[in-house]
Amino acid sequence: MADEFAKGFGILTGGGLIWMVLSGWFTTPGFEEAQLVGEIPGNLDAYGQAAIMLREVMFWFVVVGVLTFWVVLPVVEQLRKSSA
């Protein structure tokens, strides 16, 4: 079980760091306003749009990855042990 926790924690920290960096670059208009979750600027070039898409992918990668390694796999393992 420690193996699954370490994998989930790696996904959380790695994906979360990428999400926070991209959010800080693109969706933080100022320190007095909403930080990391501000409005996405409308005048982005192709690289900016790709970064915003990567930001969204990283968010869902973190959510699905952590739930998979911390909830789904341990439940499946417990069900397999109890049915055998």
Each residue of 34-45: pLDDT tens digit? Answer: 888 888 999 999
Global pTM reads 0.86
Residue extents of the structural domains in the chain: 2-83
End-to-end CA distance of the chain: give it in Å, rounded. 18
Per-residue pLDDT, 31:
82
- Tell me how long the chain is: 84
pLDDT for position 34: 81
**70 CB-near residues (< 8 Å, 6+ apart):** 4, 5, 8
Query: Rounded to whole angstroms, how far apart are CA atoms 65 and 69?
Result: 6
Give CA–CA dist 57/15, Å, rounded.
9
84 pLDDT more than 80: no
Pair of tokens at residue 80: 């397999």
